[in-house]
Amino acid sequence: QKEVEQNSGPLSVPEGAIASLNCTYSDRGSQSFFWYRQYSGKSPELIMFIYSNGDKEDGRFTAQLNKASQYVSLLIRDSQPSDSATYLCAVNPGANNLFFGTGTRLTVIP
């Protein structure tokens, strides 16, 4: 069973704060990990992907991967109201497809 777990939230942070989104996965053989942002009524948009242990930074976003703990996170610095959305964690177990978590709903309060 390839499971991807996320806290459904909602997670509320004030504008300018750091939002921390977490994801755990069950398949230890998973090779690549993705964070998607989905606004209400829209399709997911790829934000970041990470393959190696450690941190990967892209602008205000930092993805963190710890394969030993089977844990991947997304940090959003200087959160903006426009960051309010549902964030989906996705895991590639080595085949061509992705397994998605149920998503965490983030609200950034102005």
Partner 1 sequence: GAVVSQHPSWVICKSGTSVKIECRSLDFQATTMFWYRQFPKQSLMLMATSNEGSKATYEQGVEKDKFLINHASLTLSTLTVTSAHPEDSSFYICSAGSRRAYEQYFGPGTRLTVT
Which of positions 12-31 make contact with partner 1 (CB under 8 A)?
A: 31
Helix (H) or strand (E) holding 97: none
According to CB under 8 A, which one of 32, 60, 71, 107 is a site residue for partner 1?
32
Using the CB atoms, write b or e for 11-43: b if 16+ within 10 Å: bebeeeeebebbbbbebeebeebbbbbeeeeee
Q: How many Cβ atoms from other residues are within 10 Å of residue 87's Cβ?
A: 24
| 103 near partner 1 (CB under 8 A) | yes
According to CB under 8 A, which one of 35, 92, 106, 108 is a site residue for partner 1?
92
According to CB under 8 A, which one of 100, 106, 107, 108 is a site residue for partner 1?
100
How many positions of this chain bind partner 1 (CB under 8 A)?
21
Instruction: Kindly list the residues in this chain that would bind partner 1 in the complex (CB under 8 A).
Output: 31-32, 34, 36, 41-46, 49, 88, 90, 92, 96-98, 100-103
